[in-house]
Amino acid sequence: MTFEVTILGCGAAAPTGKHNPSAQVLNVHDKLFLVDCGEGSQMQMRKFKVKMQRINEVFITHMHGDHYLGLMGFISSMHLLGRKAKLTVYGPEELKAILELQLKASQTFLEYPLEIIATSRSEKQCIYDDKSLRVYSFPMKHRIDCCGFLFEEKERKPKITKASIGQYGLIPSQIIQLKNGIAVVLENGETLQPETVCEDPEPPKSYAYCSDTAYSEKVIEAVRGCTTIYHESTFMESEVERAKSTFHSTAKQAAAVAKAAGTKRLILGHFSSRYATDDGFREEALEIFPNVSLANEGQVFTIH
C-alpha cells in the first residue's frame, strides 16, 4: 500500500532561489492530503505532477504566511478547473474568516463545497478518520498558536494466502470470516482455522509533521512511536539563542525529539535562508540521531 510524502517546499519565511515555503503532499493508500500551503504551492504541484483535483483535505498548521498564503490561490484554481467535489480545510479558527473575506472581496462563488474546520489549540485530537487512516492534530510550541499533524495507519486485518484460496476453495464470505479470526467449516466437514491460511499484516506506519515549533516535551508525547517524523530545523546550533527567541528548533533539537519519541527516521526541513547549504543541518542532527534525511523540493519519501 502506498504511503509517501512529496516535498513541495521546505524553506523558512520567504521564498528563495533555493527553497519554497512549507508545503507537502501525502499519498496514503492513493488518497492525497495537502499539508501546509505556502506561496507558490500550486505551481510546485504542477511541476512535480501532483494531481491537485485528487486532494480533498488540506491541513494548515498556523497563520504565518509561509504556511498558508498559497491556499487561496489553490482554492480559486480548483474552482476555475471545474471542481465539484467537497474540499475540507483543517486549521486555526482565524483561517475561516480570512478565506471567507477573500472570497467575498473577489466575488468568487465556488462551484464546490468548502468546509473549514478549526483545530484545537490545547489538546491532541482526531480530526480525520476513514477505513484505513486517522489524522490527529496536536499543539506545538510556537510564537502563535500552531498545530502539528500525525497521519496514522489503522491496524490491518490478516491476509489470506492466495494458495490457500485455491487449495480450500474459499468463497468471499469465508475469506472475510477467516480475516476476522473466525474458523470456517468447509464442504467436506473440515474446520479451517484462521492461523492455517492467514499471514500477519504489515505493521501500521505513521508520519508526523512538526513545523513550526521550539523543542517541546508535549510534541514528543504527541508523536511517540511514530514511524517517520518531519521536524523543522530552522537553525543550526550556533543560532540556538535565535531559535529560542523565535520559537523555532535547531537540527540538534529536532534530532533530540526524534530520539526521545522513538521514531525510525527523521526528515529535517524549514531551513533558514541564512545558510549557503543545508548539509550542516544533517551533520549536526547525526550527532544525536542515526537516521536523518534532508528535505528538498520534489523529493519523495516512502514511509516504511
Q: What is the pLDDT of residue 201?
A: 85
Domains: count for the chain: 2
Statement to judge: residues 190 and 280 lie in one domain: no
Statement to judge: residues 112 and 212 lie in one domain: yes
Statement to judge: residues 143 and 265 lie in one domain: yes
- Looking at the predicted structure, is the pLDDT value of residue 254 above 90? yes
In sequence order, what E strands does the chain have?
3-9, 23-28, 31-37, 55-59, 87-91, 114-118, 125-129, 133-139, 147-153, 159-160, 184-185, 191-192, 198-199, 206-210, 228-232, 265-269, 292-294, 300-302
Statement to judge: residues 109 and 232 lie in one domain: yes
Instruction: Select the more confidently predicted residue: 226 or 192.
Output: 226
Count the neighbouring beta carbons within 10 Å of the beta carbon of residue 275: 15
Q: What is the pLDDT of residue 162?
A: 87
- Domain CATH number, residue 36: 3.60.15.10
Report how far residue 189's alpha carbon sits from residue 56's, in angstroms, rounded to the nearest whole number.
49
Q: Closest by alpha carbon to 135, among 102, 88, 198? A: 88
pLDDT tens digits, 165-174 = 888 889 999 9
The range of the structural domain enclosing residue 183 comes to 159-199
Report how far residue 215's alpha carbon sits from residue 211's, in angstroms, rounded to the nearest whole number.
11
Whether 130 is a known active-site residue: answer no
* Entry pTM: 0.92
- Looking at the predicted structure, is the pLDDT value of residue 30 above 90? yes
Do residues 70 and 38 touch, judged by C-beta distance below 8 A? Answer: yes
Statement to judge: residues 120 and 148 lie in one domain: yes
Statement to judge: residues 211 and 234 lie in one domain: yes
pLDDT tens digits, 39-96 = 999 999 999 999 999 999 999 999 999 999 999 999 999 999 999 999 999 999 999 9
Statement to judge: residues 178 and 36 lie in one domain: no
pLDDT tens digits, 133-191 = 999 999 999 999 999 999 999 998 888 888 888 888 899 999 889 988 899 999 888 89
Which residue is catalytic, options 36, 66, 212, 278?
Answer: 66
Do residues 234 and 12 touch, judged by C-beta distance below 8 A? Answer: yes
Residue 194: partners with Cβ closer than 8 Å, 6 or more residues away: 158, 178, 179, 181, 182, 183
Which one-letter amino acid corresponds to residue 170? Answer: L
